[in-house]
A and B are shown apart, each in its own frame.
Chain A
Amino acid sequence: GEDVEQSLFLSVREGDSSVINCTYTDSSSTYLYWYKQEPGAGLQLLTYIFSNMDMKQDQRLTVLLNKKDKHLSLRIADTQTGDSAIYFCAERPTGYSTLTFGKGTMLLVSP
C-alpha cells in the first residue's frame, strides 16, 4: 500500500529558497504531484513528475526525485509572502486513478 509522509511546518524569510520534503513508499512506477492550498481554497496543481525522471523545473519551482530513497522535494526559489500556503505531496501508481496525499506542509513566509 501507499503511504506519503511530509514534515508539517516550514518557516522561511522572503527572498530565501524553500525546500519541502516528501517520502513515499509505493514500489511500482508512479506519478508524484505537488499541490498548493491557500487558506479557504481548494487545491491547486503546481507540478508533477514521473518516477523515471530525476528533476523537473518550472519557473521558480524545482522538483527533485531520489528514486532509491523514495524521496521527493519541492524547491521554491525567491520565496514570496504569497507562497505562504499548505503544500501537499501526492502519489498515484500507474494503473491507478486515485491519489494518496501526505498530510501537507504549512509554509510560512515572513517579510
Chain B
Amino acid sequence: EAGVTQSPTHLIKTRGQQATLRCSPISGHTSVYWYQQALGLGLQFLLWYDEGEERNRGNFPPRFSGRQFPNYSSELNVNALELEDSALYLCASSPTGTSTLEQFFGPGTRLTVL
C-alpha cells in the first residue's frame, strides 16, 4: 500500500512569492493534516481538512491556506512568503471512524525562502 506522498521534495522561493505544496493521502483516508517543522520550533499544527472541509486551524496567519480536493488530496498555499517560512512542511493522513486516529506522515516538502 502506498504511503502519504508529497511534492515537490524541495522548493526554493524568494520573499514575497507564493508557494504551493501538494499532498496525496493514503488510499481510503479522508483526513489530511499539515504541519510546519521549523528549526528550533518542533512541529506546529497548521491545518486539518476532512471530507473537503477545513476542520481546524493552528495559530498561523491567513496567508497560510489550503484546500482538499474530491479525491482527498490537498494543497497548502503560502502567500507573501517571509524568510521565517523556511521549514519542512509535513502532511499526514488518517482514516475516519477510528478512535485512535493514527496519523501517517509523508516525507515532507523542504521550503527555502531566500
Contact = CB atoms under 8 A, between A and B. Distances in A.
A100 interface: yes
Chain A: number of interface residues, binned into ranges: 20 to 34
A94 to B, nearest CB: 8
Contacts of A45: 102-105
B88 to A, nearest CB: 9
A48 B43 contact: no
Interface string A25-49: 0000001010100001111110010
Contacts, number: 57
A102 B102 contact: no
Interface of A: 31, 33, 35, 40-45, 48, 50, 88, 90, 92, 94, 97-104
Given A35-B105, A41-B107, A98-B48, 8 more contacts: A40-B107, A43-B43, A43-B92, A43-B105, A97-B33, A98-B56, A101-B35, A104-B43
